[in-house]
Chain A
Amino acid sequence: MPLWEVFIRAKAGLAHRHVGSVHAGDAEMALQAARDVYTRRGEGVSLWVVPSAAITASDPYDEAELFEPASAKPYRHPTFYTVPKEVGDM
């Protein structure tokens, strides 16, 4: 049975976050399975399910060439700004 990745929006304004996966025969059943497995404690207000096979992933062996160059560039972090409390989730 196909595998589906599950994403939940915790509340309006937040992005959907990956929470896990479910097995289901088609998209509608995957949505129901996701609802039953991952939203039993009021985790969200919106669900996405995506066929796991539709995801293209980076190769762990490429980790150094893909990600290490960024670690030497602390000036890219916007640490000079203070975010007003009223802005809330960013």
Chain B
Amino acid sequence: MAPVLFDYVLGLADDALILGHRLSEWCGHAPLLEEELALANIGLDLIGQARALYDYAGALEGKGRDQNALAYLRDAPQYRNLLLVEQPNGDFAMTIARQFLYTAYAGPFWHMMTGSRDATLAAIAATARHEAEYHRRHAGEWLVRLGDGTEESHRRAQAAIDALWPYTGEMFEADASAAALVAEGIAADPALLRAEWNQTADATLAAATLTRPADGWMQSGGRHGRHSEHLGYILAELQFLQRAYPGAQW
């Protein structure tokens, strides 16, 4: 079970790190000072989650890799994050749409994980669930105001939802190894998550006067290391220091 659990935890850690890094890119560029702090706060919450998850993944693997080794010394094909979280920030509507689509999943996910039979994951979830709940609220309130705002903000919000929709299917994929973890009571059940996600998405999109896109063909591959070209650019920036000066310490 250990290698399967390692992959699972690594995927969660990579989601949090990559999305946290994306949000950090708004530093100095956010549309409002208040939003600048909000996005940076959320990014820091995510990187905090990533650190705890990487530590646990390293312990599960048992090869002496710590959080720094896992974050800084793997190349794109070894990353296991969802394709959704590596998508570019785009305009503010694109960032909020990505944030909403992810947090509508991460909120209930961490809530469910507080009941995981894996004690470490349950402990991480105890903190993460409150963070994720606020992240969902933040993104949801913004999406409603962008969608139900001006003609321009509505157009941009709808375009962002349309562009990112094909990346939402990946959150609920259940391969054989994930199903085994669900059966053991360790992982959250993707089918239950999808039901709750659908409810949140429908309610929020309706409040935002946005149209839910049809569930057509869905992008896939992030959990198996097949990424969009964007991840390479993220890692180039994220890993530069450790690659140029191996072992450098803060």
Contact = CB atoms under 8 A, between A and B. Distances in A.
A and B, one complex? yes
Interface of A: 1, 22-26, 28-29, 32-33, 35-37, 40
Nearest to B142: A29
B65 interface: no
Nearest to A22: B34
Contacts of B32: 1, 23, 33
Given A32-B137, A32-B138, A37 B34 contact: yes
A24 B38 CA distance: 13
A33 B137 CA distance: 12
Contacts of A26: 145
Chain A CB within 10 A, most for which of B32, B34, B138: B34
Given A23-B32, A25-B145, A28-B141, A33 B38 contact: yes
A36 B137 CA distance: 12
B200 interface: no
B141 A36 contact: no
A80 B203 CA distance: 62
A36 B145 contact: no
Nearest to A33: B34
A23 B32 CA distance: 8
A26 B38 CA distance: 16
A33 B38 CA distance: 7
15 contacts: A22-B34, A28-B141, A29-B142, A32-B38, A32-B137, A32-B138, A32-B141, A33-B32, A33-B34, A33-B35, A35-B134, A36-B41, A37-B33, A37-B34, A37-B37
A74 B210 CA distance: 64
Interface of B: 32-35, 37-38, 41, 134, 137-138, 141-142, 145
A33 B142 CA distance: 11
Contacts of A22: 34
Nearest to A29: B141
A67 B241 CA distance: 60
A24 to B, nearest CB: 7
A23 B142 CA distance: 14
Contacts of B35: 33
A35 B37 CA distance: 10
A19 B128 CA distance: 28
Contacts of B141: 28-29, 32
Given A23-B32, A24-B34, A29 B41 contact: no
A43 B32 CA distance: 22
A40 B145 contact: no
B145 A23 contact: no
Chain A CB within 10 A, most for which of B37, B137, B142, B145: B37
Nearest to A4: B34
Contacts of A36: 34, 37-38, 41, 138
Nearest to B42: A36
A23 B41 contact: no
A32 to B, nearest CB: 6
A52 to B, nearest CB: 14
Contacts of B134: 35
A22 B33 CA distance: 9
A49 to B, nearest CB: 12
